[in-house]
Structure 1
Amino acid sequence: MDQPTVGILHPGSMGAAVASCAATNAAAVLWCEAGRSTASAERAEQFGLTPVATLAELLDRSDIVISLCPPAAAEDLARDVAEHRFTGVFVEANAISPARVQRVAELLGPDAVVVDGGVVGSPPVRCKTPTLYLSGPAAATAQVEELFAATAVQTATLGTAVGKASALKLSYASFQKTSRVLVALAVGMAREHGVDQELIEVASRRTDSYLAEPQYVVKTAQRAWRWGPELEEAADTLDAAGLPPEMLRATASTLARWNDARDDSELSLTDALDRLAHP
């Protein structure tokens, strides 16, 4: 098969780096200059992308288009692409919900083939190797896998159902990004009372991730009846320090869904997750 021509929408820090990896197995990687900033142009040039004047030209020349933009703009961008009746493979690689990916697929169908994508990891520069998770029609996901073969962007296909890749991306992001904010709150509270270095020392004794230990969910559910009030106290302490308490109050509210699991020695992970979804 001939090497495909690829279009990237838009060349941000992630998009430009991913596009440069695609260039390894593509005839050309295009980006549209119209409406883009000087910073975008400089970034595209840095990564060796080929400029075109209009979106119409990019879509007319591209076999595969990759959409990597701020999540809020994803559907509007897909709508612009749909208006031009693009007929190639459209990789919806933004951090949006499975429901929004389905809407994008409806916008672009039946002309284009939509592949759901989710990038987990940092931009592929300076030895970073993110994974692009894919789901969608088998022939199309295979094309995208071939596009990134032997590059710094690893690929993994999760099946043919559009939405799976986005669900995985957001599931991971919900933990990874929220945990960073929790770090800020915890250190901020400790600093207010002059014990921030001691907090870091305590935390350094455990360096692995609770996300890799889902069995700990059961222990959390069993202890929710007392952890919830504890977090309300912590929220009050944040509030007194001028720090935002809403995240801890929301966590306490979530824990309240497990109040009837108090010290339930027979509780399983499935039971705990079911109670969380259907209190």
Structure 2
Amino acid sequence: MDQPTVGILHPGSMGAAVAACAATNAADVLWCETGRSTASVERATRHGLTPVATLTELLDRSDILISLCPPAAAENLARDVAGHGFARVYVEANAISPERTQRVALLLPDAIVVDGGVVGSPPVGGKSPTLYLSGPAAATERIEALFADTAVLAAVLGTEVGKASALKLSYASFQKTSRVLVALAVGMAREHGVDQELIEVASRRTDSYLSEPQYVAKTAARAWRWGPELEEAADALAAAGLPPEMLRAAASTLACWNDAKDSELTLTDALDRLAQP
């Protein structure tokens, strides 16, 4: 397979590092320097990316275009690309919802849109994230080949645009919310001088709850008492001057299972009740 020319929109910390990996199997990796910050210029230079002066030149020369930008900008960026009549492979790799990814695909009727989701840290310093892909088979195969033998592991989920974004956000919803919950828990404990004891208690268990989905059914059966407990915890956060809204939202979610008190549910039963309370 011929080596493609790749364009990256825009080289942030993740985008620049991913683009640098793509350079292993690409003829060239381009980025548009017009209007970008000094930090972007330095980052792109450090990763060996080739600057071009205009978006038009970037699009004209790119066989594969990778969009990795702040989520809020994803659709506007796609509109800009569509305005130039881009008709080759467009990898929508931003952390956006499956519905927004599908809207991006509709904005680019002439392009071959591949849904992408990066799970993991930027591929520097020994880190090796996975780029999940979904979309037309021939296009996802090209992206797999582009990242072959690099620090980015490409994994295809199927041909349906939206699958990769769904996996990315499903994982991010747990990982990132968990980090915020850590901040709230330690913040509450610190207010009462027991933060070191909390960390000691937590250190005895290192497994991720996300690896135990079967426990969801047990959670549903206990929701009738867990919900009020979280409301109490939310009150404690508020008293400590910390935001209580996340725990109140969790309590509200648990309330969907109030009629499952001490029942023997399957995981499927519990999730069905959550989706259709």
TM-score w.r.t. the length of structure 1 is 0.99
Which residue in the other structure is 1:38 paired with?
Answer: 38
Which residue in the other structure is 1:17 paired with?
Answer: 17
Which residue in the other structure is 1:274 paired with?
Answer: 272
Q: Cα distance, 1:269 vs. partner?
A: 0.3
Structure 1 counterpart SS, 2:158: coil
After superposition, what is the alpha-carbon deviation per residue over 1:161-218, rounded to whole angstroms, capped at 9, x for unaligned?
0000000000000000000000000000000000000000110110000000000101
Q: Cα distance, 1:34 vs. partner?
A: 1.1
TM-score w.r.t. the length of structure 2 is 1.00
Hey, what's the Cα distance between the residues in 1 that align with 2:19 and 2:142? 15
Hey, what's the Cα distance between the residues in 2 that align with 1:207 and 1:6? 41
Task: Flag structure 1 segments of 5+ consecutive residues without an equivalent.
Answer: none
After superposition, what is the alpha-carbon deviation per residue over 1:83-119, rounded to whole angstroms, capped at 9, x for unaligned?
000111000000000110111100101x110000000
Amino acid at match of 1:211: L
Amino acid at match of 1:18: V
Amino acid at match of 2:185: A
Structure 2 counterpart SS, 1:158: strand
Counterpart mapping for 1:36-185 below 5 A? 36-109=36-109, 111-185=110-184
Which residue in the other structure is 1:248 paired with?
Answer: 247
Which residue in the other structure is 2:196 paired with?
Answer: 197
Structure 2 counterpart SS, 1:226: helix
Hey, what's the Cα distance between the residues in 2 that align with 1:242 and 1:229? 20
Structure 1 counterpart SS, 2:66: strand
Q: Cα distance, 1:150 vs. partner?
A: 0.2
Runs of 4+ in 1 over 3 A off after TM superposition: none
After superposition, what is the alpha-carbon deviation per residue over 1:230-267, rounded to whole angstroms, capped at 9, x for unaligned?
000000000000000000000000000000110002x1
Q: Cα distance, 1:2 vs. partner?
A: 1.5
Q: Cα distance, 1:35 vs. partner?
A: 1.0
Hey, what's the Cα distance between the residues in 1 that align with 2:55 and 2:145? 25
Which residue in the other structure is 2:5 paired with?
Answer: 5
Hey, what's the Cα distance between the residues in 1 that align with 2:184 and 2:160? 38
Between the two proteins, what is the percent identity of the paired residues? 84
Say yes or no: does 1:234 pair with 2:233: yes
Name the count of aligned residue pairs.
Answer: 277
Structure 2 counterpart SS, 1:194: coil
After superposition, what is the alpha-carbon deviation per residue over 1:57-89, rounded to whole angstroms, capped at 9, x for unaligned?
000000000000000000000000000001110
Hey, what's the Cα distance between the residues in 2 that align with 1:88 and 1:123? 26
Hey, what's the Cα distance between the residues in 2 that align with 1:172 and 1:216? 17
